[in-house]
A and B are shown apart, each in its own frame.
Chain A
Amino acid sequence: MKPIIEITDLYFSYDNKNLAINNLNLIIYEKEWVAILGHNGSGKSTLAKLLIGLLEPLRGTIKVNDKILSQETVYDIRRETGIVFQNPDNQFVGSTVADDIAFGMENQQISREEMKKRIDKYIKKVRMEAYLQHEPHLLSGGQKQRVAIAGALAMDTKVLVFDEATSMLDPQGREDINTLIQELKNDGDKTIISITHDIKEAMLADRVVVMKEGTVVATGKPTEILKDETLMKDCGLDVPLTVKLSQELKKYNIINDIYVNQEDLVKSLWEYSLIK
């Protein structure tokens, strides 16, 4: 696996007093789906802004696709990394959905023909083709986020960052976006970084990175990380319901393991019911 993002000894402070990012080291590999988990204030959104060069580190380096992020390279690097932000209302500039998707491409002087092709392709990808001429502000939150994703996809970047992109949506909107991220993952040509505090979203990722006080405190498979109650509680997070039920059932010797996936837990119960 080839690293696409390499972060080394990263520090950042908003006020020159408190460190929002405090000696953070992280490697993200090409085509990986990494969920960055942490409570509000753990530094995960700051990290996202540093990754796309919206903030400048105090110290340390961020390498994207072998290029070190600096004032000279920031525009090149934004061609490698797209981002979808948390608040669907704060990221619209166009007067129609189509204009909005075109906006980022216009900044990169992409030809009109190519723009049209990409708008067509990605509006279909996010299943919003019926809304191309609609005004963005009249869409629901979930629809807005889908348009924002189409805009980010149209930039044809290697890396896509979702900064709590589902946290303001209703359950339907949330499910739509998670399905879409899963499809992008299955298409297999993007590296996906989803910054979240939603455990269900983290469960879908290849790898979970847990942040606390501006640094990485744990990284591993979702099935390993999410069952670690001490770690999760310590980071202001909760373990899934399946883990809690596993712990209870273990007391009665009905199962022997702690399960993160509901399917695995139910299967284990089913096996027990057969031998009993």
Chain B
Amino acid sequence: MGIQFDKVNYLYARGTSQEKAALIDIDLNIDLNDFIAIIGHTGSGKSTLIQHMNAILQPTSGVVKILDKTIIGGRKNRDINIVRKRVGLVFQFPEYQLFEETVEKDIMFGPLNFGVTKEESAIKAREALKWVGLDQDLLQRSPLNLSGGQMRRVAIAGILAMEPDVLVLDEPIAGLDPQGQKEMMEMFYNLHVNQQKTIILVTHDMNYVAQYANRIIVLNEGRIGFDGNTWDLFANYELIKKYHLDLPDITKLIIDIENKLGIELDHKINTVENLAQALVQALGGANHVR
């Protein structure tokens, strides 16, 4: 029981001259407890796809099954609110949506909305703040006086406080500095490992995709172009070229070295240490004389 898409189509601006197919015949099966990256160019349909995962958008045709709830395209689907609690969607730049006077109130907003008592919501807020690595002292501060990175963590805590099983993240590290990006990715990984959250990550950063995702879904002009193992994609030069995808920096470096030196290396190497060892081997061992 995860999230299934069965022949899902989605038309934007239906019935107008601007009508456009944003998703075309999407079949997809997402298992719980996975860490998945969704990649593709701006306009490829990534955001439309993930908004179907918690029923913010509903298909024009086809069926989306979200945990035990079935959303049928073209029909009025009732009682879908519960889905939004179990699949937490974090939009791009979520910090723009903070609005309460205090961090605590902002994080409590979601649980209160789903009928959790005030006392219970306050407990959940404290816990969520811990998960995102922020100090409890911040609870009574205005979210608007925090740094950009802290604000984003508060916004994510607001989603976590609803205790979703699945966390869908749209470009969650965009605009953060390198240290902030690294810490945020580690935070998602910890939520995945320690809290058994299913992570679905939309990102342009192939270095982090390579580091954390088990599976990649490539969207291209509203269709699924590739769905499979992360390194099967990055090692497949044909596909990378076909969809004009970016490679992780390390893979680009490997290809550069291969071309200049006329040697062959494993494109699935993903750490500097392993690359150094592969080079030592390819070049005939370490040099002890120099």
A residues with a Cβ closer than 8 A to B are 38-41, 86, 140-141, 164, 167-168, 170-173, 197, 199, 236-238, 241-242, 244-245, 248-249, 251-254, 256, 262, 266-267, 269-270, 272-273, 276
Contacts and interface: CB of A to CB of B under 8 A. Distances in A.
B286 A273 contact: no
Contacts of B280: 249, 252, 254
Contacts of A272: 283, 287
Contacts of A40: 147-149, 176-177, 180
A241 B287 contact: no
Given A167-B175, A248-B275, 20 more contacts: A39-B178, A40-B180, A170-B41, A170-B204, A173-B42, A197-B178, A237-B178, A238-B182, A245-B272, A245-B276, A248-B272, A248-B273, A249-B280, A252-B286, A252-B287, A253-B288, A254-B283, A269-B283, A272-B287, A273-B263
Contacts of A38: 177
B174 interface: yes
Contact of A86 (B42, B43, B175, B261): B175
Nearest to A235: B179
B48 to A, nearest CB: 16
A254 B287 contact: yes
Interface stretch (B100-108, B190-198, B227-235, B246-254): B246-254
Contact of A273 (B147, B256, B261): B261
Interface string B165-181: 00000000011111110
B290 interface: yes
Contacts of B246: 171
B239 interface: no
A242 B93 CA distance: 31
A172 B42 contact: yes
Contacts of B179: 39, 236-238
Nearest to A232: B178
Given A244-B272, A254-B283, A270-B261, A238 B178 contact: yes
B283 A39 contact: no
A241 B249 contact: yes
Interface in B247-280: 249-250, 253, 256-257, 260-261, 263, 272-273, 275-276, 279-280
Contacts of B180: 39-40
B272 A241 contact: yes
Given A170-B42, A253-B286, A269 B174 contact: no
Interface of B: 41-43, 93, 147-149, 174-180, 182, 204, 246, 249-250, 253, 256-257, 260-261, 263, 272-273, 275-276, 279-280, 283-284, 286-290
Nearest to A236: B179
Nearest to B275: A245
Contacts of B182: 238
A262 B283 contact: no
Given A39-B178, A40-B147, A248-B276, A253 B287 contact: yes
A245 B265 CA distance: 15
Nearest to A173: B42
Nearest to B252: A262
B41 A270 contact: no
Contacts of A249: 276, 279-280
Contacts of B253: 241-242, 245, 262, 266
A255 to B, nearest CB: 9
Contacts of B272: 241, 244-245, 248
Nearest to B178: A238
A4 B250 CA distance: 39
A30 to B, nearest CB: 29
A256 B287 CA distance: 11
